[in-house]
Amino acid sequence: MTNVTNWDAGDPHVPAGFETWGQAISTDVDAVVAIAVNVQAASYTLALTDAGKSVEMNVATANNLTVPPNSAVAFPVGTIVEVCQVGAGQTTVVAGAGVTVRTPETLVVTGQWSTVSLRKRATDEWVLAGDVEVAA
């Protein structure tokens, strides 16, 4: 790992705006992060322990993944949860009471092996992105 501090303002390789930024910067690009998996065999409501993990919906029939309100499960803003429909049963993301899930399309995961992500952007507001069905 290489740390860079106290960049020289006269160095032509220093990007504009960073000339006096005194923070250490890691150039270590070999880091690998493993994501823990939580496998579910029925409809499921997210739990705080799902933060930063992948929830696999391994269900044979149609099922729901519910995003609970902040009053029930206080995920920090910025939390990301990956969801993968492993089973043949179509997974639908459901907003709990008072929760808004924002997406330009639908809340329905496209099909088996499709993956989406949920990112909490405000107290009871999440963004859904990924392989969802197109709105009609």
Q: How much is the pLDDT for 2? A: 45
Domain at 37-130, CATH from 2.60.120.640, 3.30.300.130, 3.30.465.10, 1.20.1250.20:
2.60.120.640
pTM attached to this predicted model: 0.77
Q: How much is the pLDDT for 3? A: 46
Q: How much is the pLDDT for 36? A: 95
Instruction: Give the strand order in the sheet containing 91-95.
Output: 44-45, 63-67, 91-95
CB 81 within 8 A of CB 106: no
Per-residue confidence in pLDDT tens, the chain, 136 aa:
444 455 555 556 555 555 545 555 556 666 788 899 999 999 999 999 999 999 999 999 999 999 999 999 999 999 999 999 999 999 999 999 999 999 999 999 999 999 999 999 999 999 999 999 998 7
Q: How much is the pLDDT for 13? A: 57
Q: Where in the chain is the domain with CATH 2.60.120.640?
A: 37-130
Q: How much is the pLDDT for 65? A: 98
Q: How much is the pLDDT for 93? A: 98
